[in-house]
Amino acid sequence: MANLYINIFDAVSSNRSPGHGREGYYFGENGEHTLYDLAKQIGYILVEFNKSTFRDPATFTQDEIVRYFGVGPITVDDNID
């Protein structure tokens, strides 16, 4: 966690942008969390700022996966002989 703060401080104090928003997000934690909880909190904030109408995270449909990521259905076969 300290390295995160040091890197951001060093970038800002040397007039370099550490990047944020579309350039990336910083997640520092010293405990335990799930990505679902993180996505849920981001959803609440987006609704609060009128950037979304959905508070809770949802999975992508297969059509959305193709549209946004350019790949078809992904399957996993764990029966490898």
pLDDT of residue 73: 64
Q: Give the CA distances from residue 34 to residues 26, 30, 31, 37, 39, in Å, rounded to whole numbers and listed in that order.
A: 15, 13, 10, 5, 9
Residue 47 domain-assigned (yes or no) = yes
pLDDT digits (tens, 9 = 90+) for 31-43: 777 888 989 999 9
Residue 42 domain-assigned (yes or no) = yes
Give the total number of structural domains in the chain: 1
Residue 77 domain-assigned (yes or no) = no
Give residue 62's domain range: 2-15+26-69
pLDDT of residue 79: 57
pLDDT at 59 over 60: yes
Residue 78 domain-assigned (yes or no) = no
Residue 58 domain-assigned (yes or no) = yes
pLDDT digits (tens, 9 = 90+) for 8-19: 888 888 988 777
Q: Closest by alpha carbon to 73, among 59, 58, 57, 54? A: 59
Residue 80 domain-assigned (yes or no) = no
Residue 81 domain-assigned (yes or no) = no
pLDDT of residue 53: 94
